[in-house]
Amino acid sequence: MPSLTIDGREVSVPKGTTVIQAAEKMGVFIPRYCYHPGLSVAGNCRICLVEVENLPKLQVACNLPVTEGMVVHTGSEQAEDGRRAVLEFLLANHPLDCPVCDQSGECDLQNFYMNFGLYDPRFREQKVKKQKAVQLGPHVMLDQERCILCSRCVRFTDEITKTGEIGIFQRGDRAKIGVYPGTELENPYSANVVDICPVGALTERAFRFKARVWYLSSAQTVCNGCSQGCNMDMHYVLDRPHLNEGARVVRVKPRYNPDVNQWWLCDEGRYGLEWIDKARLQEVRGPGDTANADTNSGKATWEQALGAISKSLAEWKAEDVGARIGVIASAKLTNEELFLIREIFRDALGAQVSAWVPEDPGTCDEFLVKADKNPNTRGATLLNLTSPDAPEAERIVDEALAGNIDLLWVFGYDLVEGFGEQKVRELGEKLKLFVYSGTNENPTQALAHWGLPSAAYVEKDGTFVNHHGRVQRIGRVFSPLGDSREDWRILLELGGLLGLQLDWRDPQEIFLGLADAETAFAGMSYGTIGDQGVEVACTKPTEGVTAPW
Amino acid sequence: MHEVTHETRNNLPPTLVAEFTELCTHYPERRAALIPALHRCQEELGGWLSPETLEAVAGFFELEPVEVFGVASFYPMFHLRPRGKHLVSVCHNISCDLRGAQDILDEACKASGCTPGGTSDDGRFTLVRVECQGACTSAPMLALDGVYHEGITPEDVHRILGGVQ
């Protein structure tokens, strides 16, 4: 373990550590363009210059292994002068079109210029013109003039996706990045090159001219697109509806988690979030004025809906025919909600409860994309709501059609897609009470007696368990849209109306109840889960994510 | 748009495949033989590196075509567009310039029917202006298909270029 001194503080680091890594460990940030912790070292941008005592010239911190007794100055006048000179070269042919550049505000050329800029530029020559607005693929736009040739994107497609689409062509000040003529940057992780591009050369086509980044708010969440549960930051805008056609979610960025997704996010997850703002259920739909109507044609209030539903449930409970109640839950619900469903429906009312719904496996690979597109199948299994501990949804539907179930509550799952419209229409006619709660419009919702709008996962707090058994908090990004409510809130209220002793007020408290009841979650709280998640007890230790394919 | 197919990646002539296989044994890493291989392809396959050639070379070296294209586009001696039957390279670095390279170039344009960097309409000549071919002691000079003509005058240019078919 060599020890070295960086900016006057001594630190010991493992052999082979580079100066930039050692500094990072101490909380000293050294500017970088080409260096990225997830990629090989290129050492070409030269912005990470530092002064090392007894070495005649400035050194690049990203490619300099530490040695015993090394004394490094990251902020000395000599080091800063070096960076200033590097930046002057990098900007020599940069178009400075910041006013129309999507990267503006989160651009490291801008950021580092604040610290090491010349401010009185000397470059008077004609700048080299290159191609702008080159569509590299379905998600990525290239501006060759803004590129500083750090080669992060080239190394990403070489080393991470191993698809090798991007290369550097030509030479000197005419050098440019691009894809091989006639090909596209089209791999399942293509948009990551935008995240790692330190400048505005690679931008997201979906984000193009949508909003200046300083108007965006950010909140931590995880992706619910599959059972991997990649950590991400959701960038949203609430107070400027003109920016994003009224949609709140503007974009997402991967959030580093070494045990789940490292620095990356798949395109499927990144661009699969439109449903949060589009075609949402926003009002409570009920039978309306006509009693016994079997469609939810009328607008109702939450009080009417939950009043009527709890009344029916209480009646059936009184008659002690709990088995005549069926609940089809969903592995898209949080642990807290599944736990409440279990407490209320299975344990208090004796209902048949399942979170085991028929679904075709989706696309998958050996990196991040998992075939199970539910974010919380593992959680539902730990709560014994999937086979073999619970009936399959199909059996509940069959029993309802056979007249053995009178009340059916479906959480989020589109029955029509799973069982066909005919069966669901029949359910609507046969059942005494047919409740659908979900986030978006779908055919099942239209055929249920009550359609309850529930909050999207980013509109509520809670936890998912990913396929490795990692409990992660989904956070709450913004409030539920329209009249929609969080499923946990609906369930707590229903429990109250049924006279059950549920003493929890919010997901955090429900989770503590869950942790008391289930050994897999024993001792956990939102505090211990933190922002990186924690493994459930009795799981194999997670192997870190390794190279894909 | 040119499509990369399996076929285009594997159609180097067998003689070149044999040659490159041997060539690779000279280097610790297979890909190190890429530049000499591209030169040989250019010589044997029409004087330029077509997309098909680049892809075939990529296939041989088990590289992505984009990497081969990156290398080929880096060096000006690789031609990525079809060129004329004969290549005229006129030096214009300081020694040649001081000794009248511009006049040589002007005459070469007239004699070949090209503009610098262009190909004549009859396809006989491609004319390029290059920095230095290492013959400064006998400037000005031009190279015709790699053969140096040194210490020349504008009149010589017509004679040199007139001598080829």
What six digits make up the tokens of B162?
């007139």
- Average pLDDT rounded to a whole number, residues A47-62: 97
What letter does residue A485 receive in the DSSP assignment? Answer: B
Q: What CATH number does the domain containing A388 carry?
A: 3.40.50.740
Residue type at B39 in one-letter notation: H
Average pLDDT over residues A38-46: 96
Mean pLDDT across the stretch A168-181? 96
Partner residue facing A182 (CB), from B1, B64, B70: B1
**Run of H or E including B68:** helix B65-74
Name A303's Cβ contacts closer than 8 Å, sequence gap at least 6.
Answer: none
pLDDT in tens, A521-534: 999 999 999 999 99
CATH number of residue A129's parent domain: 3.30.70.20
Nearest-Cα residue of chain B relative to residue A173: B74
CATH class of B86-162: alpha beta
For A62, half-sphere exposure in the C-beta direction (CA atoms, 13 angstrom radius) is 20
What is the rounded distance in angstroms from the CA atom of residue B110 to the CA atom of residue B158?
9
Among chain A residues, CA nearest to B2: A182
Domain boundary among A178, A209, A240: A209
| pLDDT band (50, 70, 90) for residue A299 | confident
ipTM attached to this prediction: 0.85
> Of A490, A496, A531, A537, whose CA–CA distance to A333 is shortest?
A490
Confidence of residue A544 (pLDDT cuts 50, 70, 90): very low
A32 pLDDT higher than 90: yes
8 A C-beta contact, residue B54 and residue B72: yes
Strand partners, A445: none
- Asked whether the predicted pLDDT for residue A303 surpasses 80, the reply is yes
A490 within some domain: yes
Contact present, A195 and A261 (Cβ < 8 Å): no
Q: What is the pLDDT of residue A545?
A: 47
pLDDT classification of A310: cutoffs 50, 70, 90:
very high
Q: How far is the C-alpha of A497 from the C-alpha of A409, rounded, in Å?
A: 17
In 3D, which of A501, A494, A488 has the Cα closest to residue A310? A494
Same domain for A509 and A446: yes
Identify any residues that bridge with A284 across adjacent strands, giving them in sequence order. Answer: A300
Q: Report the pLDDT averaged over residues A135-151.
A: 97
Residue of A nearest to B80 (CA): A170
pLDDT at residue B8 tops 70: no
Per residue in B110-148, pLDDT tens? 999 999 999 999 999 999 999 999 999 999 999 999 999
Closest CA–CA distance from residue A154 to any residue of chain B (Å): 10
State the smallest CA–CA distance between residue B123 and chain A in angstroms. 25
**Are residues A350 and A499 located together in one domain of the fold?**
yes
Q: Which of A209, A228, A258 is the endpoint of a domain?
A: A209
Q: What is the pLDDT of residue B2?
A: 47
Nearest to A117 by CA among A36, A198, A31, A57: A31
* pLDDT reported for residue A129: 96
Residues of B in contact with A169 (CB under 8 A): 69-70, 73-74
Query: How much of chain A, in percent, has pLDDT values that exceed 90?
Result: 87
Asked whether the CA dihedral A473, A477, A479, A484 is positive or negative, the reply is negative
CB–CB contact A181 B2 (8 Å): yes
CA distance A189 to chain B (A): 18
Query: Which residues of chain B have a CB within 8 Å of the CB of A170?
Result: 73-74
- Between the two ends of chain A, the Cα-to-Cα distance in Å is 34
**What is the mean predicted confidence (pLDDT) over A297-323?**
83
How far lies A323's CA from each of A326, A342, A405, A490, B155, in Å?
A: 7, 14, 7, 22, 107
Specify the fold of B6-74: Arc Repressor Mutant, subunit A (1.10.10)
- CB-CB contact of A121 with A175 (8 Å): no
pLDDT at residue B65 tops 80:
yes
Same domain, A146 and A32: no
Residue A506 lies in a domain: yes
The whole domain housing A22 covers 3-92
Interchain pair B64, A169: CB under 8 A: no
**CA A194: distance to chain centroid?**
16
- A181/B67 Cβ within 8 A: no
Indicate the residue of B4, B65, B74 with minimum beta-carbon distance to A170. Answer: B74
Residues A84 and A157 in one domain: no
Of B95, B106, B105, B104, nearest in space to B139 by CA: B95
